Amino acid sequence: MGLFDYGNNVMSKAVIEFHNVVKSFGDQRVLDGVNVSFEIGKTTVIAGGSGQGKSVTLKLILGLLQPDSGQIIIAGQDITKLKRRHLNDVRKNFGVLFQGAALLDSMSVYENLALPLKERTAYKSADIDQRVHEMLAQFNLGGHGDKFPAQLSGGMKKRVGLARALMLQPEIMLFDEPTTGLDPHITLEIYRLFYKTQKQYGYTSIIVSHDIPKVFNLADRVILLTNGKMATFSSPEEIPESDDPDVISFAVETMGHIYSSRDMEQKI
Amino acid sequence: MFSFIARIGDSFLYMIRDQGRMGIFLLSALRGIFARPFRFREVVRQIRIIGADSVWVIFFTALFTGMVLGLQGYYTLRKFGSEGLLGSAVALSLIRELGPVLTALMVIGRAGSAMCAEIGIMRNSEQLDALECMAVDPFRYLITPKFLATIISIPILTQFFNIIGIVGGYIAGVILLGVNPGAFHSGIEQSVVNLDINLGIVKSFVFALLVVWICTGKGYFVNILRNAGFGAEGVSRATTNAVVVSSISVLIWDYLITAIML
Ligand SMILES: Nc1ncnc2c1ncn2[C@@H]1O[C@H](COP(=O)(O)OP(=O)(O)OP(=O)(O)O)[C@@H](O)[C@H]1O
Ligand SMILES: [Mg+2]
C-alpha cells in the first residue's frame, strides 16, 4: 500500500498541489503566488528560462526549501508543516535526479547504487549485489561499477543518478534537467531510458527541462514558469493561445521556429 | 550614527541566529548516537582516519615537547638546586595542560580541517540534499560517526601524548643531562594526584566535543553561516574558520576548566 492510495471517495487525482506559494531570496521574489497541481501517473514538464525558479520549485516539493507563505500539499498532507521524521516518510516515495547528479563522490558507482538499498531496505547483501548489477546492466553501465563519479562522463553521471533514483521504485520521480549539456545522441538515450523505465515502473514524473518542444513528446502536460507565475498547458498548440505576454515571448524564444512568426507577432 | 548602531544590531542578530543553528546541529548530532542500527563499521573507519592516522604526528609532537620540557625544566630547576623535581614538573605540565591542548590542536590540523572540507564540499555539490531526498539522515549517516570517533580518539591520543611526552622528558633529563632516574620516578609518583589526571581527562573529552562540533558544523553550514561563502572559496574559508575558531575555543575552555576544577 502506497502513500498515494486515496480510496474511492477522493475526487482529485492530484498528488502534489501548490496553493499560493511564495518564495523569495532576499529582495528577489522567485515564486509569486503559484497555484498548480501535478496529477498521479502523469508526466509533467516544468519549462522556463534560466534562473526562473525551476530547481527551487523541485526543492520546495522535496522539503529542502521552505516557502515564505502558501501550502504545498503532497498526498493530502501540507509538507510545510511536517516534522522532519514525517517529511522523511513522504520523501521515501520520491526518486530524484539532481541537476548535477549529486552522486556521493567518495563512493564508487556500485556503492552509490547500493546505498539506498542498504539504508532503506532489509535486503541481504547478496540481493543488493544482484539488484545493483541488474541496474548497471540496464543503464549500460556494466563494467563501470568500480569507477568513482569524478571518473565518469556527464552522460554517465546522469545515468548513474537516474539508476540510483529508481533503485527503490519510487512513486514519484523528479528530474532536474536530465538532458541539459548532453549531446543529441545521449539525450535521445536518456529519453529512451526514461520512457522505458516509466512504462516499467509507472511512476508519476515531474521533469524540469529546457528542451521545448521535444519534451512534449514525453509530457502529458507542460507548466511554464515565467516571472514567478506558473501556467499549465496540455499541448504545444495551446501555448501561443495564452494571453500572458511573458508566456508568448517565452514561446517565441523557444519555439519560434514551429509557429509561424506572423501569428506570434500579432499576439505581441 | 544610526547605521552604525543598526550594523551592530545586525551582527548581533546574525550571531544569535548562527549560534542557534550550531546548537540545533549539536543536538541532532548527539541524538544520532541513539539511533539504530548503530553504525559500527563507519565509526571504526572514522576512528582510523581521525585517531589511528594521527598517531605518528602525536608521537613526534609529544616526544619533542617532552624533551624540551626536560631541557628547560632542568636549567630552571638547577638554579635552585632542585633538579630532582624534574620528573614532577614534566609530568604535571603534560598531564594537566600540554597533553590535552596539543593533542586537540594536532587533531584539528590533521583531521578537523579535513572533516570540514569534506562536509562542505558535500553541501556545495548537493550531496547532502541527495542524502536527505533518499530519506537517509545526513546526521546519522555522516556526522554522528565523526562525533563518536573524535570523542573516542582524542582522549586516547591524549593519554598516548602524556606517556610519550614523559618518555621524552626522561630522555632529555635523565639520559642526556644526567638527572638521577630514581628521583625522576619518585618525583612523578609523589606529585601527580588523581585531580591532575581527572583534569586532563575532562579536558580531553570537552576538547574532543568542541573540535568535532565546530569542524563538522562549519562544513555543514558552509554557505549559510555569516562570513560564509560559496563554491571552492566558501569551503576554503569555512575550513580556515573552523581551524581558527576550534583552536581558540580549545584554549579558552582550557582556561575555564582549569579555573573551575583547581
Ligand atoms: N539558495 C539560494 N539563495 C539565494 N538565491 C537563490 C538560491 N537558490 C536559488 N536562488 C535564486 O533563485 C532563482 C531561481 O533559481 P533556480 O535554481 O530555481 O533556477 P532554474 O530555473 O532552475 O534555472 P536553471 O534552468 O538555470 O537551472 C535564481 O535567480 C537564483 O539566483
Ligand atoms: Mg535549475
Best residue for ligand 1 mutational test, from A56, A58, A226 (most atoms within 8 Å of Cβ): A56
Q: Is the pLDDT of residue B129 over 80?
A: yes
Q: Could you tell me if A21 and A149 lie in one domain?
A: no
Decide if A8 is inside a domain.
Answer: no
* Alpha carbon of B201: minimum distance to chain A alpha carbons (Å): 34
A208 C-alpha to ligand 2 centroid (Å): 8
Looking at the structure of chain B, the number of domains it has is 1
Question: Using CA atoms in the order B29, B30, B36, B40, what is the torsion angle rounded to 10 degrees?
Answer: 80
CB B157 within 8 A of CB B108: no
* Interchain proximity A62–B136, CB inside 8 Å: no
Lowest mean pLDDT among A233-247, B118-132, B181-195: A233-247
| E-state strands within chain A | 14-25, 28-39, 43-47, 69-74, 77-78, 94-97, 172-176, 204-208, 221-226, 229-233
Q: Could you tell me if A110 and A89 lie in one domain?
A: no
Q: Is the pLDDT of residue B46 over 90?
A: yes
Decide if A4 is inside a domain.
Answer: no
Kindly state the percentage of chain B with pLDDT values over 70: 98
Domain holding A118, by residue range, is 100-153
Decide if A108 is inside a domain.
Answer: yes
Q: Could you tell me if A75 and A178 lie in one domain?
A: yes
* Interchain proximity B133–A96, CB inside 8 Å: yes
Q: Is the pLDDT of residue A55 over 80?
A: yes
Cβ < 6 Å from ligand 1: which residues?
A 25, 30, 48, 50-56, 99
Best residue for ligand 1 mutational test, from A30, A206, A210 (most atoms within 8 Å of Cβ): A30
Decide if A208 is inside a domain.
Answer: yes
Decide if B8 is inside a domain.
Answer: no
CATH of residue A87's domain is 3.40.50.300
CB-based contact (8 Å) between B118 and chain A?
Answer: yes
Which has more confidence, A245 or B89?
B89
* Alpha carbon of A188: minimum distance to chain B alpha carbons (Å): 25
Q: Could you tell me if A178 and A61 lie in one domain?
A: yes
Looking at the structure of chain A, the number of domains it has is 2
Residues in A touching B126 (Cβ below 8 Å): 98-100, 102
B102-105 long-range contacts (CB < 8 A, ≥24 apart) are: B102/B61, B102/B62, B102/B65, B102/B161, B103/B58, B103/B154, B103/B157, B103/B158, B103/B161, B103/B204, B103/B207, B104/B154, B104/B158, B104/B204, B104/B207, B104/B208, B104/B210, B104/B211, B104/B250, B105/B247, B105/B250
* Interchain proximity A96–B131, CB inside 8 Å: no
Residues in A touching B129 (Cβ below 8 Å): 59, 62, 64, 98, 102
Pairwise CA distance, residues A65 & A72, whole Å: 11
Angle at B156 between CA B106 and CA B140, to 5 degrees: 85
Decide if A19 is inside a domain.
Answer: yes
Confidence of residue B173 (pLDDT cuts 50, 70, 90): confident
Decide if B241 is inside a domain.
Answer: yes
Q: Whose CA is nearest to atom 29 of ligand 1?
A: A51
Q: Could you tell me if A246 and A143 lie in one domain?
A: no
Q: Could you tell me if A178 and A262 lie in one domain?
A: yes
ipTM above 0.85 for this complex: no
Q: What is the pLDDT of residues A129-138, one digit of tens each?
A: 999 998 898 8
Confidence of residue B1 (pLDDT cuts 50, 70, 90): low
- What is the pTM for the complete model shown? 0.82
Q: Is the pLDDT of residue A6 over 60?
A: no
Q: Could you tell me if A129 and A108 lie in one domain?
A: yes
- Tell which of B126, B128, B139 to mutate to test the A interface (max A CBs under 10 Å): B126
CB-based contact (8 Å) between B37 and chain A?
Answer: no
Q: What is the grid cell recorded at B103? A: 593533542
Q: Could you tell me if A21 and A143 lie in one domain?
A: no
Ligand 1 atom closest to Cα of A54? Answer: 21
Edge-first strand listing for the sheet containing A229-233: A94-97, A172-176, A204-208, A43-47, A221-226, A229-233
Decide if A165 is inside a domain.
Answer: no
Domain holding B225, by residue range, is 52-261
Confidence of residue B26 (pLDDT cuts 50, 70, 90): very high
Q: Could you tell me if A174 and A251 lie in one domain?
A: yes
Confidence of residue A139 (pLDDT cuts 50, 70, 90): confident
Residues in B touching A115 (Cβ below 8 Å): 134, 136
CB A235 within 8 A of CB A216: yes
Decide if A77 is inside a domain.
Answer: yes
Q: Please tell me the predicted confidence (pLDDT) of residue B56.
A: 94
CB A230 within 8 A of CB A33: no
Residues less than 5 Å from ion ligand 2, measured at CB: A 55
Decide if A159 is inside a domain.
Answer: no
CB A173 within 8 A of CB A9: no
B54 CB neighbour count, 10 Å cutoff? 21
Decide if B36 is inside a domain.
Answer: no
Q: Which candidate from B127, B132, B133 shows the least CB-CB separation from A104?
A: B127
Kindly state the percentage of chain A with pLDDT values over 70: 87
